[in-house]
Amino acid sequence: MRTGTLIVGGGLAGLSLADALQARGQDFILVEARARLGGRILTERHAGGSFDLGPAWFWPGQTRIAALVDRFGLEVFEQFADGILTFENDRGEVQRGRGFASMQGSLRLRGGLDRLTDALSDGLPEDRKHLNAEVTALKQSGGSIHATLGNAKTIVADHVVLALPPRVAARIDFQPALPESAIRSMCAIATWMAGQAKAVAVYDRPFWRDAGLSGNAMSQTGPMVEIHDASAADNGPYALFGFIGVPPAARLNETALHRQLTAQLGRLFGAEAAQPVHLAVKDWAFDPHTATEADGAPLFVHPEYGLPPSLTNLWDNRLHFGGTEVARLFGGYIEGALEAAESALAHLTSE
């Protein structure tokens, strides 16, 4: 196969770039190592509710995602924030009234964020999208780049955009080898969410709201360090979700982890919270297409993202980076994925 632009990575950034190239009538192929598109956007459905196991929030003033939501006629609702905060100290003692919901004003997408990635994917020709297609090697030869896939197939492209975490991209066999400064930069860019695990507990009724609680909790005991209301937009089902803060090695025993999660929910919100009708956990640290060994610990402080100079003008300006971690303003966020795609498009169309 031959194409003008090969997009490596079918998350929001890759899909957005493919959508933009499609609108301009430019040739492209998008390849994704997973069996699904969406990347770190992953929505699970249960009993008519949609629960995001990856990113869930965006914010007013983020114009790129606002434009996509408007374009596809999707609906936005505000994160539930009514009620008081719950706090659990390092001795497991539960306290109330130390503040209000921390994510008040953040926005969610009715039906889950995969409605956005699905809408972008649906607009792309089927023959331009390839799943289960991991790129194992990239070789620059003359004025082209030859990509070798895990199934031994080859795609020849004029340009390649790596729309995936730089640390994951660093595992590709580059021929000739990229400069050491480029590899160092790729490996130094922490992948947002990669060391994180997220749990969603689903319930038939929002008993925490009835008790005047927002569903927002902070814990120094764990395993979840931060919990929020994850209920559907209206009329249920209702849910709480939490970020699991214990190290990945302590999350290997799924049965034990589920037991610890429900016990913590019971401590924080009462006996009913310890009996969810459904409990889902997504551990991104064990997703090989998201995390590397260097991403083993969750990030609790947002890194300074952006595109390092060492990752520009590679291979006669034919190799580009386009994932959220290289976005200058909104790196790591959903808006950052769209920002990175926009920047990659500008490089592709500047010639």
Report how far apart, in Å, the C-alpha atoms of 5 and of each of 8, 30, 32, 290 are.
Answer: 10, 8, 14, 22
Claim to verify: residue 8 and residue 149 sit in the same structural domain: yes
Quote the radius of gyration of the chain (alpha carbons, Å). Answer: 21
Per-residue pLDDT, 5: 98
Q: Is residue 52 part of a domain?
A: yes
* Res 301 pLDDT > 90: no
Per-residue pLDDT, 206: 97
Confidence of residue 298 (pLDDT cuts 50, 70, 90): confident
Amino acid type, 52 = D
Helices (H), the chain: 12-23, 63-71, 114-122, 166-169, 180-188, 207-210, 254-269, 334-348
Per-residue pLDDT, 100: 67
* Res 99 pLDDT > 70: no
Residue of higher predicted confidence among 98 and 28: 28
Determine if the peptide bond prior to 125 is cis (ω within 30°): no
Claim to verify: residue 105 and residue 149 sit in the same structural domain: no
Per-residue pLDDT, 98: 67
Claim to verify: residue 103 and residue 120 sit in the same structural domain: no
Claim to verify: residue 137 and residue 276 sit in the same structural domain: no
Over residues 157-164, mean pLDDT = 98
Claim to verify: residue 264 and residue 135 sit in the same structural domain: no
**Residue 61: which region, alpha, beta or left (left: phi > 0; alpha: psi -120 to 50)?**
left
Q: What is the pLDDT of residues 60-70, one digit of tens each?
A: 999 999 999 99
CA pair distance 10, 37, nearest whole angstrom: 5
Claim to verify: residue 201 and residue 282 sit in the same structural domain: yes
Tokens linked to 285: 């640290």
Over residues 79-97, mean pLDDT = 93
Chain mean pLDDT for the chain: 95
Claim to verify: residue 35 and residue 120 sit in the same structural domain: yes
Q: Is residue 27 part of a domain?
A: yes
Over residues 56-79, mean pLDDT = 97
Claim to verify: residue 260 and residue 325 sit in the same structural domain: no
Q: What is the pLDDT of residues 215-272, one digit of tens each?
A: 999 999 999 999 999 999 988 899 999 999 999 999 999 999 999 999 999 999 999 9
Residue 79: exposed, middle, or buried by beta-carbon count in 10 A (0-12, 13-18, 19+)?
A: buried
Token pair 């200058």 is found at 328
Structural domain including 151 reads 1-40+114-189+302-351
* Res 158 pLDDT > 90: yes
Q: What is the signed CA dihedral for 206, 209, 215, 217, rounded to 10 degrees?
A: -130
> Tell me, what CATH number does 216's domain have?
3.90.660.10
DSSP secondary structure of 253-270: -HHHHHHHHHHHHHHHH-
Domain count, the chain: 2
Q: Is residue 322 part of a domain?
A: yes
Q: What is the pLDDT of residues 324-345, one digit of tens each?
A: 999 999 999 999 999 999 999 9
Claim to verify: residue 199 and residue 90 sit in the same structural domain: yes
Amino acid type, 225 = V
Claim to verify: residue 167 and residue 150 sit in the same structural domain: yes
CA pair distance 158, 143, nearest whole angstrom: 7
Per-residue pLDDT, 235: 86
In this structure, are residues 157 and 29 in contact, taking their beta carbons and an 8 Å threshold?
yes
